[in-house]
Structure formats: structure tokens, C-alpha cells
Amino acid sequence: MAHYRLTATEFLSSGVKVEDYVCSLLDRVAARDADVQAWAHLDRECAISQARLLDTIPLREREHLKLFGVPVGVKDIMYTKDMPTQHNSPIYENDAPAVDSALVMLLRNAGALIFGKTTTTEFASVTTGTKTRNPHDSSRTPGGSSSGSGAAVGDLQVPVALGTQTLGSIIRPASFNGIFGFKPTWGAISREGVKICSLNLDTMGFFARSIADLELLADAVQLEDDEKQTVRFKIEGAKFAVCKTHVWSQAGPGTTNAVELAIKLLQEHGASVEELELSEEFTNVTKYSLQAFESDGKTTFTNEYIRAKDKLDPVLVKFVENSSKISHRDHLAALDGLAQLRPKIDIIAGRYDAILTPSTVDEAPTGLSNTGNSAFCGMWTALHVPVVNIPGFVGEHGMPIGLSLVAPRYHDRRLLRVAAAVAPVFEGGGWKLGL
């Protein structure tokens, strides 16, 4: 097997030299970049020199480095001390803050190799597409805003990558690219050194091609539940809820079929799946999350608006000019309303091993101009609960479709345990990951 096909976990036990792994990935990028274009910045020499340096570390000193030599793609709204950070904005063209974001520092400290910067929609705040294409069909969007991270991991150009989610920016591209995406509990990973979109919604997270890799990353950032997860989770006898949500009418045939098939597969493996209809008040989450997004964005982008309004995406100009006429009163009602619903969803989600819910309205749409609809993701982001996208299903055009598992806040590790058991079950949906 070519080295580039290895997941991070496989690489760590493979005995392959870091340089060999990195060179294989760089060759994969070289072969595929014209089609996929996942990178905002990638310096071959920088990656190789990091690899060589890591290869000189004595074996006994590698033991505590949980991510020794693991190449990581970094979304280009996160500061990296040795690479530019440009936010896909002409205002920050060639900008290179000489500092690492906290998450990048954490990963470097665990022995990770910062491979390159992945594309993002402008400031990770709009759905205007990037240059990046879906690796499984270059006429389709890879999703966004973490477009490059999703596409690079989906195309085997890097085993893991970092993302952020304000509405649907991790789960959506994970679904569209046929890989795992993990949005932990809001606030569980430091956002220091990352461009802000919404103070109340932005969440750090990961892309990978196995749950084991997500566990590795979770270990590296010391993500812990109150209860340590020691027992392996079994599907047999497990209790799931399927929550179609108040936006179910937006689901296309691919998602509708995926949900039905997922229920069938779980039941066939001995799990119970009951339908969960959330109370009426949860329908407000969509409105609240969009108001929080816009109003928070007004504060965030006032800076760029004043400096270079003409270089700012029209959507963000509208945020600053408050075209939607959202008053502070509305904004606070949205924040307070969301805050009231969070403990309620914790209680509801706590009754199940996980809530199963759509990740996206359907497979990735054609065209690159828009990164897709976030209707199914935004509500969980705003509720601050952890979400993982599990690939497995296939849409009408052969594109991947994933489904989300949701748990109560700060049950991140429990969610990954459940996901590790669900993932092989969902392979019955027909999507072949990493081929």
C-alpha cells in the first residue's frame, strides 16, 4: 500500500519514516492538486525539512509524542508561525503573523508536523465557494467553510486536518467528502489565534478518515469527559434516537434514503432506534443561530469593513451595515434563547447513546460557487453539543453522504466511542472510504 493511504494511526504503528510518509503525501498532492486544489499554502521544502527534523528524534523521546510525525492540514484562518494566514481575503493577502494558534501549538507539541494551510471560504464566514473541488467529482463543491481540510483528507493528501464550525463548516464538508468530521463541545478546545466569526458559535474541530485518528487528536488536546470511557461500546442493545428535526422537509432523496438505511442497519445490528421529535421551542434554534451569527459578525467584521469595505464579501458588508435590522434586543433574545435550550438538549440527548440526525440536505451539489446548505448542522452548533459525521452512504450520483451523531455537551469522548462502533455498521451503506 502506498504510504499516503495510511491513516495517522496506521502510520504511527507502521515503522515508516516521517520523511517517506510526507514525501508520499506530497507526491499525492502533486498528482491531484490540479483537480482538487485544497491548499491555500503548501511549501514542499518546509514539510520535508520538518519531517527530517522529526526523524532525528531518538526513539525513546518519541514515546510521549502522541502525534509523532503526523502531518496535519491547518485551515487558513488559524495562525501558523512559519506559514502565511490569509483567511481567503484580499485584505490579508500574504499576511504572515509570526505566531501559532493554541491548537497548532498543542499539536506541534505532541509531535505533529504542520503540513500546509487548507483553503477556507472568506473568513470561514460565507458560503461563496473557494477554488477547491470535491475530490470525488471535481464539478461539485467540497463544502465549506473548511473546504480544503475536507477535500485534502477526503483525497488522501493528508491524514488529518483542522477545521472550525460556526454553522456547518466541519460537518458539511465531512459529509460531502465522505470522511469523518468531529465538532467537539463549544469551548472544549482553545480558539486562541484563530480568526473570529461568531464569538458565541465558533467551534474548533477535526477531519480524519478513521475514528481512531479522531481519538488520537482528542488525546493530544486533552479532551476529557467527566466519566472516563473504559468499556468498549457495543451496538447490540444500544439505544439511539433519530431526530429528523424541524428542517426535515429540506432533506433530499440521498439524505432521506441514508437515514432510512442507517436505522435499518442499526436495528439489524441489535440496536433500538426510536424517533425523537423535539418540542416546538427548538424550532427557534435556526432563527436564533442565524441572528447570533449575523450580530456577532457585525462586531467581528467592523474592523475589516472600516479598513477595506470594497474588499469584503457583500454578505459580510451586510452584517456590518446590519441590513437585516437585528437590534441588540433581538441579538440578546437569540443568545438567551439558545442558552435556555442547551441544558434541555443535554437532558434529552442523555437518554440515548446518541442522537442520529442528517449532516447535510443531500450529497454535494454541482458547481463551485456555493458550498451548500447548513440547515441540519447549524442547530447543533448553536446548542454547543458535540457532533461527529460518520460517512457510509451514497447519493443518487454516487457521491458520499454522511450522518451525524450527537451527544450532550462535554460527552465528546463518549460520542467518539459510540461513533467507533457505528462507523463499521454504516459501511453497509455502500460508501468506500479512502479508495
244 scored as a contact of its own copies (CB under 8 A): no
Query: CA 292 to CA 135: how far, in whole Å?
Result: 33
Residue 7 phi/psi, 5-degree rounding, is: -75, 170
228 scored as a contact of its own copies (CB under 8 A): no
The residues that bridge with 75 in the sheet, in sequence order, are: 118
189 scored as a contact of its own copies (CB under 8 A): yes
Compute CA distances 140 → 195, 300, 368, whole Å.
27, 30, 6
Q: Which of residues 262-301 bind its own copies (CB under 8 A)?
A: 296, 299-300
Query: Which listed range, 16-24, 257-265, 324-332, 395-403, lies at the site for its own copies (CB under 8 A)?
Result: 324-332
Active-site residue, from 145, 147, 198, 289: 145
DSSP assignment letter at 248: G
Q: Select 62 or 342, whichever has its Cβ closest to its own copies.
A: 342
Q: Select 53 or 332, whichever has its Cβ closest to its own copies.
A: 332
323 scored as a contact of its own copies (CB under 8 A): no
Q: Select 41 or 191, whichever has its Cβ closest to its own copies.
A: 191
**Catalytic-residue membership of 169:** yes
124 scored as a contact of its own copies (CB under 8 A): no
Binding residue (CB under 8 A) for its own copies from 188, 259, 271, 390? 188
Binding residue (CB under 8 A) for its own copies from 72, 221, 334, 418? 221
Q: Are 235 and 266 in contact (CB under 8 A)?
A: yes
Active-site residue, from 101, 169, 210, 295: 169
Binding residue (CB under 8 A) for its own copies from 336, 366, 398, 424? 336
Query: CA 161 to CA 173: how far, in whole Å?
Result: 12
Residue 164 phi/psi, 5-degree rounding, is: -135, 155
Q: Are 165 and 183 in contact (CB under 8 A)?
A: yes
Q: Are 214 and 180 in contact (CB under 8 A)?
A: yes
Beta-sheet pairing, 272-275 with 239-242:
parallel
The dihedral through the CA atoms of 218, 219, 222, 224 has a sign that is positive
- Compute the chain's Rg from CA coordinates: 20
Binding residue (CB under 8 A) for its own copies from 19, 122, 213, 225? 225
Q: How many residues does the chain have?
A: 435
Query: CA 375 to CA 359: how far, in whole Å?
Result: 9
Neighbours of 281 (CB within 10 A): 11
- Quote the least distance from Cβ 181 to its own copies, whole Å: 21
214 scored as a contact of its own copies (CB under 8 A): no
177 scored as a contact of its own copies (CB under 8 A): no
Active-site residue, from 75, 183, 244, 298: 75
Instruction: Please tell me the count of residues contacting its own copies according to CB under 8 A.
Output: 45
Binding residue (CB under 8 A) for its own copies from 14, 109, 283, 366? 109
399 scored as a contact of its own copies (CB under 8 A): no
DSSP assignment letter at 232: P
Q: Are 266 and 422 in contact (CB under 8 A)?
A: yes
- Quote the least distance from Cβ 417 to its own copies, whole Å: 16
H-type helices in 350-405, by residue range?
375-382
Q: Select 188 or 265, whichever has its Cβ closest to its own copies.
A: 188
Neighbours of 276 (CB within 10 A): 18
97 scored as a contact of its own copies (CB under 8 A): yes
219 scored as a contact of its own copies (CB under 8 A): no
> Which amino acid, 144?
G
Active centre residues (catalytic): 75, 145, 169
Which residues are at the interface with its own copies (CB under 8 A)? 79, 95-99, 102, 105-106, 109, 187-192, 195-196, 199-200, 221-222, 225-226, 296, 299-300, 302-303, 306-307, 327-329, 331-332, 335-336, 339-340, 342-343, 346, 409-410
